[in-house]
Structure 1
Amino acid sequence: MSAGFEPFRIIIVGGGIAGLAAAIGLRSVGRKITVLEQSSQHKEIGAAISLQPNATKILEKWGLGPLLERKGGMPDKGFKMFSTDGTLKASIPFSRETYGADRVLYHRVDLLDALKEAATTEDGPGEPASIVLSSRVIGCDTSNATVTLVDGTSFSGDLIIGADGIHSKLRKLVTGSDTGAVPTGTSAYRIIVPTSQLIANPGISSFIDLKAPWTSMIMGHDRRVIMGPCREGKLFSMVCLVPDEFMNEKSSTDSWTSEGSTEKLLQSFESFPEWLKEIFRAAPSLGLWQLRDIQPLKTWVKDRVILIGDAAHAMLPTQGQGASQSVEDAEALQEFFSDIHSGPSAAEVNARLEMVFKCRYERVTLIQGYSRQQAGPATTENGQKITMNTLEFSDYNCGYEGAKKWLSTSSVGTTV
């Protein structure tokens, strides 16, 4: 770097999917990216996750396709719908041709590892991002773009990205109000089991192909199970949703790491097929958490700070769009800062961040609302009911082609 050249310093608070995606998207010559991760080991919770075609397109544009495939990503062939007696009622195939990319199933650990590798490899554009562990942020000076850690250490930059999740410490500093995560009325069990253990049980394997890359769903009354393979079919993952008022136990915290009871899970899904309950019994452990999201924020931006991912728009998993919207946020930051390669002014950074917010807010808020609607009635921020059907919304979700193209073809502020 030449003498007198000031790099564009970017501080990312949070080393999860949103933070690492932002680090990848913003990597470029003349930039110094620091990711502050509060954990000491930077490990993800063992569970499955999917990225929808709208996010897969972005990651492929970034050249991550081979890396993600090597990390065990499995293109999803579609949905299979079962009745509560275990009968297959419908198969809805996915086609890459429909949206220009696959819906891909991952183990969360594998996806995080792939994103971390892409963010920190020497082979990427510009300098590798630096990940600083055990960095719990407790304060932020938005005008001076400085964050302070619990041990008193501070980091300063030109741009701060708050990717610190649903329990974000930066959210109140940006919005000026204590807008925290709120219960949604539903709790979820999370299960992951080695597939080999399940295949050995004919009471399970004779009813469902455990390795086939399909997402299977059982919808019954007021509860549902969503399940499928990950890590190239070596693991089988399940999420079981139950209304809070009908839970036979309560999550001890709002974290998905609290332990659940197999006996109580079986009680909650007593009317579901026996082969499903056999999977429950085979689970070595159960995660249990109360599903929470946040109400749409008035802004994600203050001075030189922006919130992204769950910090800005945590949403229910009913659309499978939470992680994918984080990737979209990262791509928007990449696009609107694409021409800045040295230290920008505070005014310029704020102006670009406001453009990102303007571009992203309507789309994300609508997806938040529709995710709620799938669990009950939903309205937009202005009190208007969302009426799009599932097929229309799938097109809206997955047909996305990037921030600038979306902004050029959309009427920002229009409610569907």
Structure 2
Amino acid sequence: MPVAVNNPVKLRVAIIGAGLGGLIFALLMQKHAPDTVEVDIYESAHELAEIGAGVAMWPRIWEIVRYLGLEDELLEISGAGRLGALPMVFTKSDEPTAVDVTTLPPGLYPFHRANLQKLFARHLRAYDRIQYAKRLTSYTEPASDRDPMVLKFKDGTQATCDVLVGCDGIKSAVRRTMYTDLANEVEARGELEEAARLRALNDPFWSGTVAYRGLVPTSELEEDVLKVARIPHIVMGKHKNVVFYPISGGEIINVVAFVDTQGARGTRYEGPWVTTATTEEVEQQFSGWDTITHTLIKSMVTPTLWSVHTVGHLPTYVKGRAILLGDAAHAMTPHQGSGAGQAIEDGLVLASLLAHDSVTLETLPQALNIYDTIRRPFSQNVQRGSDEAGSMYHLHELGWDKVSVGESAAGSYSKDMIDVLGKGLEEKLDWVMRGDFMETRVKAMGMLESTSA
């Protein structure tokens, strides 16, 4: 009989944050290096409980889900159930009758975020290694290549690891420590302006947009409204837009209504980032919009108001053995439905690199440099594209900036502008429909193998 070989653990990886990005990265590590990389997850909450509701996956992300073997289970909990991918319909709706703009072919898989999180966690062998109520305050880089990193938590406890992956969101403690250290190093060289710029990257900034989020039980809707609401829509108007799509097996419609304040981007948002709102407040913002949109807004259950913040473009996602992933690295506006997707793409590249046989503590810097080289430019381009898509939804682009709120509501605009807008949206979102991300994994492996040859 063959003798079983126990592969020694080559790396101990600590993941900060058990959101979608952290869980998917852990699952990818489990797939690629089940025996050679040890994973611990530290979560600040007392249990797995996602705030928020809807999240979407496009074909390029669905390819990764299929790679993990989760496709069938995810279809069971998607907004369309076993029907699979749904189209995305765009209309101009800030007038009494909605105007069709364009429709993307079936490619969207919508979910309730909490359902996704529970499913991912259930497949995680390291589920019992998730430590709750562990809020990271800072970490310390090792004194030598062989020493561990030291993690410090708010409760006064500490832990150690070889590699630290910050999946801790837009207010990331990993990013704060990383960029404070970078700033201190630059300041020690006398580069005071650059040090100040680096420190400023610790703080997210307001996009100028707020979002009213709410859920609508399909049992509360008449059939004519439900027929439309079961198909994902982005309905657009001057300075505002609404997104709605089915989640939880089609039993709930997720509704998000955005309001943009012109000139407010980068200013300080006054008030809590998340707070309660009233249905009447949201209705007032969208008075005069088409009947379907108005009905869905009026049917929102206990809506909440979110200020939409983003992270500035970072000059690196890596310092030493610490890495940023997902919103910690590139929190973006949600206008391309790609925030969670970009975290998943980060995770695939990083897990593939860390699992490679050639990657050890000694060769780790080359692997992390490849991660930064591949993922940072791409994800930051998606950040820019999300802002640009939002500007299109709010009718600020392609000549629509010259149309006033009143003119838009009255239909006083050139009808060929609708065609121009539709073509612009198709071009802007073309990339999300292309499921070719595995090519990036092959590219990363090729770069790594060329450095270790």
Fold-level similarity (TM above 0.5): yes
What CA distance in whole angstroms lies between the structure 1 residues aligned with 2:445 and 2:137?
Answer: 38
Is the 8 Å Cα contact of residues 52 and 113 (structure 2) preserved in structure 1? yes
**Residue equivalent to 2:370:** 355
What CA distance in whole angstroms lies between the structure 2 residues aligned with 1:53 and 1:106?
Answer: 14
Q: CA shift at 1:251, angstroms?
A: 7.3
Q: CA shift at 1:252, angstroms?
A: 3.3
Count the aligned residue pairs.
377
- AA of the residue aligned to 1:105: P
Paired residue for 1:13, among 9, 12, 16?
Answer: 16
1:50 counterpart SS class? strand
Q: CA shift at 1:181, angstroms?
A: 0.9
Is the 8 Å Cα contact of residues 349 and 444 (structure 2) preserved in structure 1? no
**Residue equivalent to 2:108:** 103
Is the 8 Å Cα contact of residues 227 and 236 (structure 1) preserved in structure 2? yes
Question: 1:368-407: per-residue Cα shift (whole Å, max 9, x none)?
Answer: 11111223499xxxxxxxxx95434433344232333456
2:294 counterpart SS class? helix
Question: 1:274-303: per-residue Cα shift (whole Å, max 9, x none)?
Answer: 443333232220111111111110111111
What CA distance in whole angstroms lies between the structure 1 residues aligned with 2:70 and 2:151?
Answer: 30
1:171 counterpart SS class? helix
**Residue equivalent to 2:74:** 68
Is the 8 Å Cα contact of residues 300 and 357 (structure 1) preserved in structure 2? yes
Which 10-residue stretch deviates more, 179-188 or 276-285?
A: 276-285
**Residue equivalent to 1:202:** none
- AA of the residue aligned to 1:404: R
What CA distance in whole angstroms lies between the structure 2 residues aligned with 1:63 and 1:4?
Answer: 24
What CA distance in whole angstroms lies between the structure 1 residues aligned with 2:235 and 2:72?
Answer: 33
Paired residue for 2:252, among 208, 231, 235?
Answer: 235
Question: 1:130-173: per-residue Cα shift (whole Å, max 9, x none)?
Answer: 21111111111133422111112112111110000001111122
Is 1:94 the equivalent of 2:105?
yes
Is the 8 Å Cα contact of residues 7 and 36 (structure 2) preserved in structure 1? no
**Residue equivalent to 1:385:** none
Question: 1:217-268: per-residue Cα shift (whole Å, max 9, x none)?
Answer: 2211121111011111100111101113699xx873123xx10122221111
Is 1:371 the equivalent of 2:386?
yes
Is the 8 Å Cα contact of residues 13 and 162 (structure 1) preserved in structure 2? yes
Q: CA shift at 1:408, angstroms?
A: 8.8
Is 1:254 the equivalent of 2:273?
yes
Which 10-residue stretch deviates more, 284-293 or 135-144?
A: 135-144
Question: 1:171-223: per-residue Cα shift (whole Å, max 9, x none)?
Answer: 12223324211001111100112110123xxxxx32451563x2112211121
1:320 counterpart SS class? coil
Is the 8 Å Cα contact of residues 181 and 292 (structure 1) preserved in structure 2? yes
**Residue equivalent to 1:182:** 205
Paired residue for 1:404, among 431, 438, 441?
Answer: 441
Q: CA shift at 1:45, angstroms?
A: 2.0
What CA distance in whole angstroms lies between the structure 1 residues aligned with 2:100 and 2:14?
Answer: 49
2:335 counterpart SS class? helix
1:317 counterpart SS class? coil
Equivalent runs, 1:266-285 vs 2, <5 Å:
266-285=283-302
**Residue equivalent to 2:355:** 338
- AA of the residue aligned to 2:169: G
Unaligned runs of 5+ in 2: 143-147, 183-198, 397-422, 448-453
Is the 8 Å Cα contact of residues 266 and 277 (structure 1) preserved in structure 2? yes
**Residue equivalent to 1:118:** 123
Is 1:80 the equivalent of 2:99?
no
TM-aligned CA distance change 1:191 to 1:406, over 3 Å: farther
TM-aligned CA distance change 1:281 to 1:3, over 3 Å: closer
Is the 8 Å Cα contact of residues 210 and 233 (structure 1) preserved in structure 2? no
What CA distance in whole angstroms lies between the structure 2 residues aligned with 1:65 and 1:349?
Answer: 32
Question: 1:36-89: per-residue Cα shift (whole Å, max 9, x none)?
Answer: 010002111241110111111011111111221233453342122333324351
**Residue equivalent to 2:430:** 395
1:297 counterpart SS class? coil
Is 1:59 the equivalent of 2:65?
yes
Is the 8 Å Cα contact of residues 244 and 256 (structure 2) preserved in structure 1? yes
Paired residue for 2:37, among 28, 31, 41?
Answer: 31
Which 10-residue stretch deviates more, 127-136 or 291-300?
A: 127-136
Give the greater-gyration-radius structure (CA): 2
Q: CA shift at 1:94, angstroms?
A: 2.0
Q: CA shift at 1:328, angstroms?
A: 0.2
Is the 8 Å Cα contact of residues 35 and 129 (structure 1) preserved in structure 2? no
**Residue equivalent to 1:45:** 51
Normalising by structure 1, what TM-score? 0.83
CA RMSD of aligned residues (A): 2.8
1:206 counterpart SS class? helix
Unaligned runs of 5+ in 1: 96-101, 121-126, 200-204, 379-387, 411-416
- AA of the residue aligned to 1:332: V
Is the 8 Å Cα contact of residues 302 and 350 (structure 1) preserved in structure 2? no
- AA of the residue aligned to 2:26: A
- AA of the residue aligned to 1:141: T
Is the 8 Å Cα contact of residues 47 and 109 (structure 1) preserved in structure 2? yes
**Residue equivalent to 2:224:** 206
What CA distance in whole angstroms lies between the structure 1 residues aligned with 2:446 and 2:234?
Answer: 35
Question: 1:82-136: per-residue Cα shift (whole Å, max 9, x none)?
Answer: 33324351552424xxxxxx4211001111111111223xxxxxx6672111111
1:20 counterpart SS class? helix
What CA distance in whole angstroms lies between the structure 1 residues aligned with 2:229 and 2:239?
Answer: 28
- AA of the residue aligned to 1:252: G
